[in-house]
Amino acid sequence: MALAMPKWERQTRIFLCVFGLFLSVYALHVELSRERNPNYRAMCDLGESVSCSKVFTSRWGRGFGLVQFFVAKDSPLNQPNSVLGIIFYTLQMGLGLSLSKKAALFLVFSSWVSVAGSLYLASILFFVLEDFCMVCVSTYMINFGLLFTNLQRKRAIEGMKEKAG
Ligand SMILES: C/C(=C\C[C@@]12O[C@]1(C)C(=O)c1ccccc1C2=O)CCC[C@H](C)CCC[C@H](C)CCCC(C)C
């Protein structure tokens, strides 16, 4: 039986992961530049309440603002969210190329975690920081898109199994 993934799925996944990786690397770059130089102005800093560097260097910018309850603020475990993003999109890309059922389940599971993380970060962004960060909002849309792609994949694999008996 030919186990091929539909072309649209491959292309959508590659597009979302590359875009997500690009935004995460950019967020990391802005955060590190801003920490080194408080006068640094990023391309995504458009105004007082449309500022991405303000968001990235806030206490929620590292370890989701939660890791610091368990380890020291400057612990190597308290990484910027963007580092988690880089790991996440790399995994989504790498495991996405495999057609194993286990990989598909892991992709769906981690995708749900990222959507929950996105909803959490979005509520911090709008209600606590009262800021509009375009880089952040774009990553939320990417995470929703990846969840949709991963759910389609899981459905397709389950369908194949039923047909094969
Ligand atoms: C750049 C990026 C998110 C942007 C941002 O996080 C940034 C940078 C931030 O500083 C921030 C501050 C305050 C409010 C909002 C924000 C954000 O919006 C990428 C995350 C992607 C995503 C939310 C990754 C989730 C990964 C899961 C934890 C993976 C779980 C996988 C395991 C099950 C193995």
Q: Establish how many alpha carbons lie within 13 A of residue 37's alpha carbon, considering only the half-sphere containing its beta carbon.
A: 7
* Centre of ligand 1 from the C-alpha of residue 67, in Å: 13
Give the tens place of pLDDT for each residue, 35-91: 999 999 999 999 989 999 999 999 999 999 999 999 999 999 999 999 999 999 999
9-162, superfamily in CATH?
A: VKOR domain (1.20.1440.130)
- CA nearest ligand 1 atom 25, residue: 114
Q: What's the pTM value of the predicted model, to 2 decimals? A: 0.92
Q: Which of 80, 85, 89 is nearest to 56 (CA)?
A: 80
* Centre of ligand 1 from the C-alpha of residue 135, in Å: 11
Interface ipTM: 0.91
Tell me which DSSP letter residue 47 carries: B
The alpha carbon of residue 3 and the mean position of all alpha carbons in its chain are separated, in whole angstroms, by 28
* Centre of ligand 1 from the C-alpha of residue 118, in Å: 7
Q: What atom in ligand 1 is closest to the CA of residue 61?
A: 10
User: 50 - beta bridge partners?
Assistant: 47
